[in-house]
Structure 1
C-alpha cells in the first residue's frame, strides 16, 4: 500500500528534526503486529529527486503513478532508508483528493511490489539501509 506520510529523512533526523519537512507518498514494505497487539510499520519514501545510487532505488513506472493518482513526473522509491512507526501514528496525512479519513493512495501491483521487496531485502541483508524509528 502507498500512503501519505510525513517522512523523516536520515539527514533531517541527524539535524535534530522529529518530523519530516514534507508529506509524501511512502510504500509500506512491512507491517508486523507485536505481542502488545500494536502494529509496527516500515515505510520507504517516494521522491522526485534522482537517487544517488541506482541500486538503492526503484523508479515508479508512469502507469503505476497514474494508478495511484500521483503526478506524471519521474519518481523513485528510495530503498536505502526507512521509517518505522506504530500504526496508525501521528505522521499519517490525508490524501488531498480522497475522503477525509483516507491516508492511502492505493496498492502497488504485486509484480512491482515483489521486486521492491526483493531489492529492499538485498540492501537490508548487506546492511546498506538506514532506519529511523519515529517517536509518538
Structure 2
C-alpha cells in the first residue's frame, strides 16, 4: 500500500495538535483523527512537501468557533462513523507530508478516507481564508 500524493480535499489520518495542547507545551497531538488537506506546498529549497490540514471532530463547535458540519452522506462515503462530524475551520497544522504522524486511515487497507466533495472543500477553504484575513486562524507548524 503506497502513500498517495497529497491532494486538496483528501481526508487523511493524523495526530493533530490543537492550539490549547500546544499552549500547554505539547509537541504532538493526543490522538490520531481524520484531517482534511487544505493545501499542499512544495518547499523547493528543501524538496519537502508540506500540507496544511484541518481536523475533523465529533464535538460540536464551541461558542465563537468556526466549524462546518459534514453531511451524513459524505461521512458515510468517507467511511467515517455515523456520529455527527465537523471540520474545524479555525484550527490548522502545517506538517511535512513524510511526517510519521500521518498514518494510514485503515492499516493494510487504505491510506486515506477519500476526498471531500468540491463544494464542501470550497466552503472550508473560503472560511479559512476569511479567518486568516481577520487573523483568527489558529495554526501550528509541526516539525
CA RMSD of aligned residues (A): 1.5
Q: Does 1:62 align with 2:52?
A: no
Q: Does 1:30 align with 2:39?
A: yes
In the alignment, structure 2 segments of 5+ residues that lack a partner are 1-9
For the 8 Å contact 1:8–1:21, the answer to whether it is kept is yes
- Any residues of structure 2 matched to 1:78-97 within 5 Å, and which? 78-96=88-106
Query: Which of 7, 10, 20 lines up with 1:11 in the alignment?
Result: 20
Other-structure match for 2:4: none
**What count of residue pairs does the alignment treat as equivalent?**
133
Q: Does 1:42 align with 2:52?
A: yes
1:56 Cα shift?
A: 1.1
C-alpha distance in 2, partners of 1:77/1:8? 14
C-alpha distance in 2, partners of 1:54/1:118? 17
1:14 Cα shift?
A: 1.1
1:96 Cα shift?
A: 2.5
- Seen in structure 2, the aligned counterparts of structure 1 residues 97 and 63 have a Cα distance that, compared at 3 Å, is farther
For the 8 Å contact 1:92–1:103, the answer to whether it is kept is no
In the alignment, structure 1 segments of 5+ residues that lack a partner are none
Other-structure match for 1:127: 135
Q: Secondary structure at the match of 2:131?
A: helix
Query: Which of 5, 11, 33 lines up with 1:2 in the alignment?
Result: 11
Other-structure match for 2:7: none
C-alpha distance in 2, partners of 1:88/1:54? 33
For the 8 Å contact 1:28–1:43, the answer to whether it is kept is yes
When the two structures are superposed, what TM-score results if normalisation uses the length of structure 2?
Answer: 0.87
1:55 Cα shift?
A: 6.1
